[in-house]
Amino acid sequence: MEFEAIIGLEIHVEMKTKSKMFSSGPVSFGEDPNTRVNPVDMAFPGTMPTVNKQAVINAIRVSNALHMDIDDTVIFERKNYFYSDLPKGYQITQQFRPIGSNGYLTIETSNGPKKIEIERLHMEEDTCKQLHSWDFSLLDYNRAGIPLIEIVSRPDMRNGEEAAKYVEKIRSIVTFLDVSDGKMEEGSLRCDVNISLREVGATKFGTKVEIKNLNSLNNIQKAIDFEISRQSIILEFGGQIEQETRRFDEGSKETVLMRVKTDAVDYKYFTESNIAPIKLSKEFIEDAIKTSPELAETKLERYKSFGLNDYDSNLLIADHDISNYYDQGVKSGCSPKLLANWIIGDVQSVLNRDCISIKEFKITPENLGKLVLLIESNKVSNKQGRDIFAEMVNTNEDPEAVMNKLGISQVSDEDELRKVIIEILDVNEQSIIDYKNGKGRAIGFIVGQVMKKTQGKANPALANKIILEEIGRR
Partner 1 sequence: MKKVTKEVLKSNAEKLMFEMSDEDLDLLVNEFGVIQEQMSLIGEIEGVDETTPMTFPFDVTSTFLREDVASEPLDRELALRNAKDVVDGQIRLPKVVK
Residues lying near partner 1 in the complex (CB under 8 A) are found at 17-19, 24-27, 32-39, 42, 50-56, 73, 82, 84, 131-141, 258-259, 270-271, 273, 276-281
Please state the closest distance from residue 144 (CB atom) to partner 1, in A: 11
Q: By three-state DSSP, how is residue 316 classified?
A: helix
- Is residue 136 exposed (0-12), middle (13-18) or buried (19+ Cβ within 10 Å)? exposed
Please state the closest distance from residue 99 (CB atom) to partner 1, in A: 13
CA–CA dist 25, 44 (Å, integer): 13
Q: Which is nearer to partner 1, 137 or 305 (CB)?
A: 137
Read off φ and ψ for residue 40, nearest 5 degrees: -65, -45
> Which of 302, 221, 212 minimizes the C-alpha distance to 257?
212
Q: Which is nearer to partner 1, 18 or 253 (CB)?
A: 18
Please state the closest distance from residue 106 (CB atom) to partner 1, in A: 31
Q: Which is nearer to partner 1, 24 or 377 (CB)?
A: 24
Please state the closest distance from residue 368 (CB atom) to partner 1, in A: 32
CA distances from 38 to 23, 189, 220, 235 (A): 7, 24, 35, 51
Q: Which is nearer to partner 1, 281 or 437 (CB)?
A: 281
Q: Which is nearer to partner 1, 56 or 372 (CB)?
A: 56
Please state the closest distance from residue 318 (CB atom) to partner 1, in A: 29
CA distances from 410 to 200, 378, 470 (A): 70, 7, 21
CA–CA dist 95, 269 (Å, integer): 8
Please state the closest distance from residue 242 (CB atom) to partner 1, in A: 16
CA–CA dist 385, 383 (Å, integer): 5
Q: Which is nearer to partner 1, 42 or 422 (CB)?
A: 42
DSSP state of 185: T
CA–CA dist 81, 76 (Å, integer): 16
Q: Which is nearer to partner 1, 135 or 360 (CB)?
A: 135
For the chain, the distance separating the N- and C-terminal CA atoms, rounded to the nearest angstrom, is 86
Please state the closest distance from residue 23 (CB atom) to partner 1, in A: 8
